[in-house]
Chains A and B, each alone.
Chain A
């Protein structure tokens, strides 16, 4: 063995795999733990969703009974309707807000860095803090409504927080405040990467700024828009902390969302099977968003590779 010659005398040469054991361990243990927990945890939760488990996990098979029980419950139905409303309103409004902010910041204005920091700082704050602060501002007896009343306009009404029909919009407001900056950052990066030669050519052809935006710049932002929408949807589907701090699902169960239903079933009512079923339903909703996105990304990459 050529290696043995370089070894210090008096020591038997260790086999290759023993010498390299530390590096194998450092590479494989963390990666395997991470991969194994993802696969086994998902499969286990899916399995539990088909069992009659309540307080503790038990074996047994109840087919889709947990799913039908969850889907038939008023809690889940309201949560699902809320998710549709919250998801679409929040995603649309935060994307529009982010795009407007990005276009405004793209006008080579002074203080751009300061302004960008202002629009992004909510992302550094936890949803618990955001929810708590907005619960004060939107509380009719404490926040904006009280302020306007104290200023003399006593018929002013802004009590969405305690209004069953409007309470979900308080979550939309807080979520927009928290994450429009994220959309802005992505759009701004997109605006900055538009080929400046094309813009110049359009200007030489006599296109005004509005026309340049509408015809050339905005169409090139499509891929980024889709990314923004998918990421914000992913956030909307798993929203938990924000609602917990802002309305705690109330008034009544008016601002219930799927993540709260899962928590309620698993840890407050101890219905593990149903809780797992609700979690799997959440995963399915997420997949309904992510799979088309993954397919779209795949097609885009193939096209780019062929071009």
Chain B
């Protein structure tokens, strides 16, 4: 079935979670460390560094998270989403090439 752009635009994005059901109990555990692993801290620093340089603003960053494919949005950890968002943005801004990223990842 073909879904036109108008009806798509009226559908909430996957991130609009308020009031939805089915996520089960909350894991209320907390760590005294802000990050679970070093890479999370690096991604955190990278997000703010690129923000500070004006490569994107905070709304563009959030938008890049929110337009992840819904399945990816739900399965990715928090900082995986951040990493995916900056990958999207640096490619879209022409700072690095998508193929170059994939090639370097496989190298």
Is the A/B pair a real complex? Answer: no
